[in-house]
Amino acid sequence: MSHRSGRHFLQIPGPTNVPDRVLRALAAPTIDHRGPEFAALAGEVLTRLPPVFGAAGPVVVFPSSGTGAWEAALVNTLSPADRVLAFETGHFATLWCQMARALGLDVDLVPGTWRRGVDPAVVHERLAADRAHATKAVMVVHNETSTGVTSNVQAIRQAIDAAGHPALLLVDTVSSLASMDYRHDEWGVDVTVSCSQKGLMLPPGLGFNAISERALAASSSAGLPRSYWDWGPILAANADGFFPYTPPTNLLYGLREALAMLAEEGLENVFARHRRHAEATRLAVRAWGLEVLCEDPAEYSSSLTAVLVGEPHDADEVRRIALDRFDLSLGVGLGRLTGRVFRIGHLGALNDLMLAGALSGVEMSLALAGIGAGQGGIDAALERLRSG
């Protein structure tokens, strides 16, 4: 490849841009992970991490991707042949269900269009009918990364409680944590799954489980095989600032810096920034004459926007032009959305000018592809950004 001047615009919904402060923290010399300096680092991170989840604690940290944290949530709380209630809200919800089946769980999957989130009324209906309490857990993706559709976790918990059902609530926040309002304790979540490479502004490599007292109690009798993913040894070692195996020391340096940045901005301000950027992006999409994949405005994502290009156009052609001509990476359509959508990530370390530049690249790419109105999206987005 020939040299390209300037910076690359990474506008996929994760991994996201890693801020310079975090990059410098990652470059610190590696230390003895059995020594007191590491114990101090781990203790600081493990103390400052739970509030980002809206949790009093604990949050288990794995050297893994979000996929590993998915598995940890399942194997620590469930037993072979346990029934779980799940919802087909998108590609990643489907993958989590596939994992659950591979682990020997009985998945009751509610089909979906990939354009709507979980319907709390359906949760209530399914669980109210389960008088034997055969369903042991409800699996929900808070913000579906493949579609830009969110689900109302608080309403889902209320539906579970209204049905008088003891099922655990397991929630994936991979693309919503530290980008959208989320309250593990207040919303009655039992296991919250997340990872490092999105709202936390880090490279991939850290997976998280925030766990409730109910989930911890369930882990004492859960029968699925577990070793690496077992919460018990990790929590025991964490009490003294250590891990039961070699930890990702430099990623923890980066996490400490990312948590400091979030605290300096303030989580409410972080969420407001993400909402503003999402609104500006959707205004641009509509001005281009295109359609936001998410059908319900109440379920719009603040982390990303999935854009339908409409037949006979190919969304991947837009992505190809954006990368080749403007050094701009957009998210691919996944699963049943292949070729039908491209995704604009607007989460993590992002400011107004970065978003405006990215949307300019999208507008030029659409014009070159002969898709949509071709003009006007930038003006609509800038008007929203100017308004603060």
Q: Taking 70 as the threshold, does the pLDDT of residue 74 lie above it? A: yes
In a domain, 70, yes or no: yes
The domain of 317 spans 266-386
pTM value surpassing 0.95: yes
Whether 250 and 301 share a structural domain: no
Residues 62 and 153 both lie in one domain: yes
Kindly state whether residues 143 and 215 are assigned to the same domain.
yes
Residue 192 lies in a domain: yes
Q: What is the pLDDT of residues 48-60, one digit of tens each?
A: 999 999 999 899 9
342 pLDDT tier (thresholds 50, 70, 90): very high
**What pLDDT shows up at residue 35?**
97
- Same domain flag for 149 and 270: no
What is the torsion angle, in degrees rounded to the nearest 10, for the CA atoms of residue 130, residue 132, residue 134 and residue 137? 60
- Counting the structural domains of the chain, the total is 2
Q: Which amino acid is at 107?
A: V
- What pLDDT, on a 0 to 100 scale, did the predictor assign at position 372? 81
- Residue 259: is its pLDDT beyond 90? yes
Note the pLDDT of residue 388.
83
Kindly state the average pLDDT of the residues 252-281. 98
Separation in Å, CA 271 to CA 12, 72, 261, 303, 348: 19, 28, 14, 10, 10
CATH code, domain with 151: 3.40.640.10
Average of pLDDT values for 109-138? 98
| Average of per-residue pLDDT across 82-101 | 98
Which residues, including other chains, have CB under 8 Å from residue 6's CB and lie 6 or more apart?
Answer: 327
pLDDT at 43 over 80: yes
**Could you say which of 263, 291, 306 is where a domain stops?**
263
> What tokens were used for 34?
């059995």
Does residue 234 sit in the same domain as residue 283?
no
Centroid of chain to Cα 160: 23
- Given a cut of 70, is residue 1 above it in pLDDT? no
Q: Say yes or no to pLDDT of 375 above 90.
A: no
What was the pLDDT predicted at 4? 87
Q: Is the pLDDT of residue 155 over 80?
A: yes
Same domain, 278 and 210: no
Domain boundary among 230, 263, 296: 263
Comparing 103 with 388, the larger pLDDT belongs to: 103
Same domain, residue pair 228 and 320: no
Task: Clarify whether residues 258 and 304 are in a common domain.
Answer: no
Same domain, 221 and 271: no
At 105, the amino acid letter reads: L
Return the minimum-mean-pLDDT range out of 179-193, 198-212, 243-257, 360-374: 360-374
Is there a domain that residue 313 lies in? Answer: yes
- pLDDT reading at 315 higher than 70: yes
Peptide bond into 111 cis (omega under 30): no
Dihedral over Cα of 350, 352, 357, 362: its sign: positive
According to the model, what pLDDT value does residue 3 have?
A: 82
pLDDT tens readout for residues 263-273:
999 999 999 99
In a domain, 2, yes or no: no
Q: 167 and 36, same structural domain?
A: yes
Instruction: Answer with the one of 245, 263, 281 that is the final residue of a domain.
Output: 263
* For residue 276, pLDDT beyond 90: yes
At residue 362, the pLDDT reads 97
Listed in sequence order, the residues at least 6 apart from 359 whose beta carbon sits closer than 8 Å to its beta carbon are 280, 281, 284, 344, 377, 378, 381
Are 216 and 335 within one domain?
A: no
Say yes or no to pLDDT of 377 above 70. yes
Q: How confident is the model at residue 374 (pLDDT cuts 50, 70, 90)?
A: low
Q: Which two tokens stand for residue 85?
A: 């209630």
**Same domain, residue pair 318 and 245:** no
Average pLDDT, the chain: 97
Q: Residue 373's pLDDT band (boundaries 50, 70, 90)? A: confident
